[in-house]
């Protein structure tokens, strides 16, 4: 995918309300305007990279892009799980992400438990891959630094 690394940002909007409640894995959702502007060569699936909420620190993340086959969505979404414990929701704040690499295609699962196991596997894979020097350097990218300096 020649569009990677891919940088994007947008306001965190309310999604389907399932990430925390059903999966125990909270996700931040981008508005349709961000999803609709994805380059054509970024296919649906699971990605890993770096994320920053507001003017906060940069953390590892995994992102699902697509229709979430398990839930049979009709609208494409970009759902980011920031690998960090946040004390509260951050709806309305600006989320900045850089998608660094691809983990796997979207697929459906026979059960919620199987989906949760797969997501946790994706998280572990993301943690490992982001330690590679070529990926780790993107954590310090000006895309994130300028956010902290400019305050937006």
**Cα dihedral sign for 20, 4, 129, 88?**
negative
From the list 22, 79, 88, 131, the catalytic residue is: 79
Whether residue 79 lies in the annotated active site: yes
Q: Is 29 helix (H, G, I), strand (E, B) or coil?
A: strand
**DSSP per-residue string spanning 47-108:** EEEEEEETTS-EEEEEEEEE--TTTT-SS-EEEEEESS--SS--TTSEEEEEEEEEEE----
Question: Which residue numbers are catalytic?
Answer: 79
């Amino acid at each position: 995918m020649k569009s990677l690394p891919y940088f994007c940002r947008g306001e965190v909007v309310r999604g389907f309300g399932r990430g925390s409640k059903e999966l125990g894995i909270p996700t931040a959702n981008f508005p349709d305007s961000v999803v609709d502007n994805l380059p054509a060569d970024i296919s649906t699936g699971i990605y890993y990279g770096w994320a920053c909420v507001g003017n906060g620190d940069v953390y590892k993340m995994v992102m699902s892009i697509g229709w979430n086959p398990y839930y049979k969505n009709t609208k494409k979404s970009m759902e980011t799980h920031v690998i960090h414990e946040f004390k509260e929701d951050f709806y309305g704040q600006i989320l900045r992400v850089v998608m660094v690499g691809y983990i796997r295609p979207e697929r459906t699962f026979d059960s919620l438990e199987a989906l949760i196991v797969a997501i946790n596997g994706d998280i572990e894979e993301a943690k490992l891959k982001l330690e590679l020097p070529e990926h780790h350097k993107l954590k310090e990218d000006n895309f994130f630094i300028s956010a902290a300096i400019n305050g937006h």
